[in-house]
Amino acid sequence: MNSFDDAAPTLDEEEEFRARRNRINRIAKWTLPSLVMALSLVAWHFYVTLNDVPHYVLPGPVPVGKSIIEDWALLWPAMLTTSRLTILALFLAVTGGVALAVAFTQSRWAEMSFFPYAVILQVTPVVAIAPLLQIYVDSAFVAALLCAWIVAFFPILSNTTTGLKSADHNLHDLFTIYGATRWQRLRYLAAPSALPYFLGGLRIAGGLALIGAVVAEFVIGRTGTGLGLASTLLEASYRFNFGRLYAALILISILGIAIFAITSLISHLMLRKWHESALTREV
């Protein structure tokens, strides 16, 4: 009893130290990047004002901020268009990629027939395809959507295919012994095994869908069809409106961050109960 009493305060101290460290870490995770951001903005501002850098070379943070506010009526619809384009492309990439991955794992013939074309689609630079799509597809939005879809599709397909094949072979044997049907094997074994792989692919595809959308807008939006943020950015550069250019660039970054945050959150929520990648170990 005595020795336990003696040991208890040490434990408490350790606990307290750990709790304090966790608290500091939690706060630092947000404050440190914010601080870096603030300092960079200040440095940027003084670099531009002290050196009299012309606005068409590098606008300061103040005009860029002003542009975001003043051009909001123009930037907001553009951001909505780019978001819609990206999200729709990602959605189609997920449905198409997963469906094809399932087909590949269910039929060797399907995989042999179509996999090379999936690779060709992936390795052909989307910049090279975009002008063609513009010729064949009437709607600029649909053409841009196809571009973004092509880029986002492959990581989903490739990761999901690998994931569907990754199930433990002993579990496969167990399913055989219990006379599982093909559907049961897919639903209860292959699909859950593939989930972490799929979610990894989703995070990559989310970023790629945005890149695809931006590239497509650069190429297709040039004709004055006025698509989203990237078209706005390009147009602003023609007009030497560098405040607006930077404003559009910042909004694209914010969109990218939002997509990454959302896909990461989805991944975390779906895996937190069981997958190593989502578990935090007690130190």
Partner 1 sequence: MTARQGRRPLLTMSRIEKIFGGETVALKGLSLTVNGGDFLSLLGPSGCGKSTALRLIAGLIHPTSGRLEWSGERGAGDLGIVFQEPTLMPWLTVAQNVWLPYRLRGKRFAEAQRDIEAALELVGLADFSDAHPRELSGGMKMRVSIARAMVTRPRLILLDEPFASLDEITRFKLNNDLLEMKAALGCTVIFVTHSVFESVFLSDRVIVMAARPGRVINELGIETPYPRHADFRTSNEYAAHARAVSNALGEAMGAAA
Alpha-carbon distance 11 to 35, whole Å?
Answer: 35
> Quick check: 165 binds partner 1 (CB under 8 A)?
no
Out of 5, 178, 182, 280, the only residue in the binding site for partner 1 (CB under 8 A) is 178
DSSP 46-76: HHHHHTT--TTT---HHHHHHHHHHTHHHHH
Q: Determine the distance from the C-alpha atom of residue 9 to the mean position of all C-alpha atoms in its chain, rounded to a whole number.
A: 47
Cα pseudo-dihedral 51, 238, 68, 230, rounded to 10: -120
Task: Kindly state the smallest distance separating residue 193's Cβ from partner 1, in Å.
Answer: 8
CA-CA distance, 157 to 116, in Å (whole number)?
Answer: 12
CB atoms within 10 A of CB 162: 16
- State residue 167 phi and psi, 5-degree precision: -65, 145
Contact residue for partner 1 among 180, 186, 250, 266 (CB under 8 A):
180
CA distances to 164, 197, 240 from 272, in Å: 20, 14, 48
- Listed in sequence order, the residues at least 6 apart from 111 whose beta carbon sits closer than 8 Å to its beta carbon are 103, 104, 105, 161
269 binds partner 1 (CB under 8 A): no
> In this chain, which stretch among 59-67, 123-131, 149-157, 167-175 interacts with partner 1, using CB under 8 A?
167-175
User: Does residue 273 interact with partner 1 by CB under 8 A?
Assistant: yes
7 binds partner 1 (CB under 8 A): no
Q: Could you count the other beta carbons within 10 Å of the beta carbon of residue 14?
A: 10
Binding letters toward partner 1, positions 181-200, x by CB under 8 A:
---x---xx--x--x-----
Interface residue with partner 1, options 170, 182, 224, 238 (CB under 8 A): 170
166 makes contact with partner 1 (CB under 8 A) = no
177 counts as binding partner 1 under rule CB under 8 A: yes
* Interface region with partner 1, contact rule CB under 8 A, candidates 17-25, 90-98, 176-184, 237-245: 176-184
Check binding of 266 to partner 1 (CB under 8 A): no
Site for partner 1, residues 134 to 153, rule: CB under 8 A: none
Decide if residue 173 touches partner 1 (CB under 8 A). yes
Q: Shortest Cβ distance from residue 268 to partner 1 (Å)?
A: 15
Binding residues (CB under 8 A) for partner 1: these are 168, 170-171, 173-180, 184, 188-189, 192, 195, 273-275, 279
